Structures are given as C-alpha cells and as structure tokens.
Amino acid sequence: MKSFLLLQRTVDGVGKIFRTQNFLTKAQPRVAYRVCHSARRTIGLTLLVLLTGASAVTAQNPAPDRGGDEIARVNGVVITRREFQIEYRQAVDKHVDEGQPVNETYIAPIRRAVIQRMVEEELLFQESRRLGIAVSTAELDDRIAAARARFDSESAFAQEIARLHMDESQYRRKLHRQMAIDRVIERQVMPSVSVSEAEIRQFYDANPQRFKTPEKIRLSHIFIRFEPGENTDQPTQARRKMETIAAKLTQGADFAALARDYSEEPRREYGGDLGYIERGQILPQLETVAFELAVGETSPILTTGHGFHLLRVTDRKPGKVTTFEDAHPGIRQTLLQLNRGQAVKAYVDTLRKKADIRAAQ
C-alpha cells in the first residue's frame, strides 16, 4: 500500500549551519502537509512511489514446499526467503535513511513488519486474481517507461533498481503486482472512503498551531571565534578584530564584503547570509537581539561562549495564520489518505480472517 500523507516539518538550511557552530537550539517542530515517500535520494522517489509496500512476485498457484527457503504460506502460496530478503533490505535502507539505528532492538520489529506486509500484499494480490483484475503488458510497459523517463539515463535507472536490491525482471514483476493491488483498493475500498466538511473543520479547529506561520527574519552574520582558556590574549585580540569590523560598518562598509573577508563561519562565502530563521532556532542571547532589529539595522557586538557576533536583519516576514479556506484542500487530502489507510486495513483484516496463513517454523 502507498504511504499515508504525513504531517512533516520542513527545516530551513540555516539549521545545519547553526548546529555546526553550536549556535542553534533544536527548533520545535512545525508541520506542513506533504506526501512522504522516503528514499535515499530525490531521484529515487518515483520508483519508491511505484514500489512502496509491494512484495516480490510469488507463484500464482500453490507452490511446492521449499523447506528452509520458505518464510510463510498464504492460501498455499509460498513467500520465499529470497523475496523476503529484497523487502527486508529495502526496509532497513529506509530505516537508515530516516536516521534510525539498526541494531538487535530494531531488527526483530523490522523483520516482523516486513513479513506481515508481504502476507497482506499476497492476500490483496490473490484477491485481484479472484476478482478478475488484470494488468495488461501495454499498461505495465507504459508505467515502466514513465518511471524510466524520470532518470537522466538508462544506466541511472538501472542503478536505482539495483539500489533497491532487484534486477529489472524482479522490478517488472513487482510493479505488476502493485498495479493489481492498487486496482483492488480502488474498486473495493475507495468507494467507501470519504471526508465530511465537519471532519475538515474539526481538524482545523483542533490543531491551531499547525496553521500558524511564525515570524521570520533573514539574518546575516559576522563571527570572530575565540577559545577561552587556551590563550589568555585570544579573546582580547578577537574583540579588537570585531571592533575594527564594527567601525568599518559605521563608516559605510558593505556588511557582506566584510563577512567574506573576516568572518570565521561557513557562510562567509555567501556574505554571512544565513537565510530566513524563526524564533527557537538560534541561541537565546542572539535571538533576543536579532528579532528586535529593524530591516537594515546591525546589532552591537554580541558575546557568546563561542566568540563575538555581529548580526544584521535584511528582511522580515511577519507571522500569519493560514485561513480555513486556504488550509481546506490540504486537510481534506490528509484525512482522505488517513481514512484510506484505515479502510484498507479493515479490508485486509476481512481477507485475513478467511485465509489459511502459515508461518515457517
């Protein structure tokens, strides 16, 4: 099944910069609506959207017992260890991509989840056969051609398939199954899935913080470092250097040029431009001053445990609240996806109750 629409935070690029310098505090999550299909690289999104959740193909008729190669049996159809390993490796890759540790604590739950998903997808694929749902060769070819077209070259497409631990034949079989499963869901589940206006309004009213856009400022930064304790003269020398820079600014020198010439932080090559930030993203002693500055105004010399700072605000975006009318389409799509997931689960549960499912010993 395809991933649910998730509520996920988008983080400004300034975060990495400030964390590198230890100026940034962990910002509180702010959510935005987006479809989340995890992949290692953006270029892999297309394939993963097509492939998410689909298990490798098993025989259409009951397969012979393969002994130690058998993971589970669904109505007589064997899910093999080889098929499981493909799914399992993809799941572990996704786990790692999301920054999660992979150790004994996590391996067992991942393994169980993969087997459960493969069983459920086998049930749905068998149901597609029972319902007479077919995917033609032409339809499958068109879908593969669309996926291939999103890559710069044939070799890049092949590399992405290999990264998913498959060859092209396995990819083709897997996509065929997913297309059949999707049609089962569209025919048997989606007609019953809906979202009322009352549900949309209730979600909006119950989650006011999710529809608030905080005030943002675009901040430029000049930083002169000192290391307390290593050289007793270093803080004094750093302070004098920063005072010289501040004097040049008073005389009309360009802030960006001075940042490129003197600043000691990664954004110096960009004239010290840190992009847009919001409250909670920089150290409090810097934030308090920064958000009080007018556009074009430069701060006095500020001191932290890392060194001396000069800040300049180059733009300001006031905070706002997204209206119900503007939020409506996103909320509706989110709730539809969530309701779809619940309906699919209920549908699979009915198939499971009628099925003969046996796990390998």
The tokens 């391996």 sit on which residue? 107
Are 105 and 230 in the same domain?
Answer: no
Q: What is the pLDDT of residue 144?
A: 96
28: in domain: no
29: in domain: no
Which two structure tokens, joined as six digits, stand for 208? 């006011």
Are 193 and 262 in the same domain?
Answer: no
Rounded CA-CA distance 245/302 in Å is 13
Q: What is the pLDDT of residue 230?
A: 58
Q: What is the pLDDT of residue 20?
A: 37
Q: Among 176, 183, 185, which residue's Cα sits nearest to residue 58?
A: 176
Rounded CA-CA distance 346/352 in Å is 10
DSSP E strands in 240-322: the ranges are 273-278, 302-304, 307-317, 320-321
Q: What is the pLDDT of residue 325?
A: 97
Render the burial of 74-104: b for 16+ CB within 10 Å, e for the rest: beebbbbeebbebbbebebbbbeeeeeeeee
User: Strands 216-225 and 5-9: what pairing?
Assistant: unpaired
Are 258 and 141 in the same domain?
Answer: no
CB contact at 8 A, 80 and 361: no
Which two structure tokens, joined as six digits, stand for 356? 């003969």
208: in domain: no
The tokens 């810097």 sit on which residue? 286
Are 172 and 44 in the same domain?
Answer: yes
- Map residue 3 onto helix, strand or coil: coil
Are 277 and 183 in the same domain?
Answer: no
25: in domain: no
Rounded CA-CA distance 337/9 in Å is 18
Are 70 and 150 in the same domain?
Answer: yes
Q: What is the pLDDT of residue 102?
A: 78
CB contact at 8 A, 242 and 301: yes
210: in domain: no
Are 314 and 262 in the same domain?
Answer: yes
267: in domain: yes
Are 352 and 304 in the same domain?
Answer: no
Q: Give the range of the structural domain holding residue 85, as residue numbers without chain letter.
A: 5-20+35-203+324-359
What Rg value do the Cα atoms of the chain yield, rounded?
28
Are 127 and 101 in the same domain?
Answer: yes
Residue 285 sits at the vertex; the CA angle it makes with 284 and 291, to the nearest 5 degrees, is 75
Rounded CA-CA distance 307/264 in Å is 10
Q: What is the pLDDT of residue 22?
A: 43
For residue 299, the domain's CATH number is 3.10.50.40
For residue 347, the domain's CATH number is 1.10.4030.10
Which two structure tokens, joined as six digits, stand for 184? 């089962």
Show pLDDT as tens, one digit a residue, over the chain (361 residues): 333 222 232 223 333 333 334 444 433 333 233 333 333 332 232 222 223 333 333 333 334 344 458 999 999 999 999 999 999 999 999 888 888 877 878 888 999 999 999 999 999 999 999 999 999 999 999 999 999 999 999 999 999 999 999 999 999 999 999 999 999 999 999 999 999 999 999 999 999 999 999 999 999 999 999 876 656 778 889 999 999 999 999 999 999 999 999 999 889 999 999 999 999 999 999 999 999 999 999 999 999 988 999 999 999 999 999 999 999 999 999 999 999 999 999 999 999 999 999 987 5
Are 314 and 328 in the same domain?
Answer: no
130: in domain: yes
Are 219 and 199 in the same domain?
Answer: no
Domain count, the chain: 2
DSSP bridge pairs for 33: 7
pTM over 0.95: no
Are 74 and 147 in the same domain?
Answer: yes
27: in domain: no
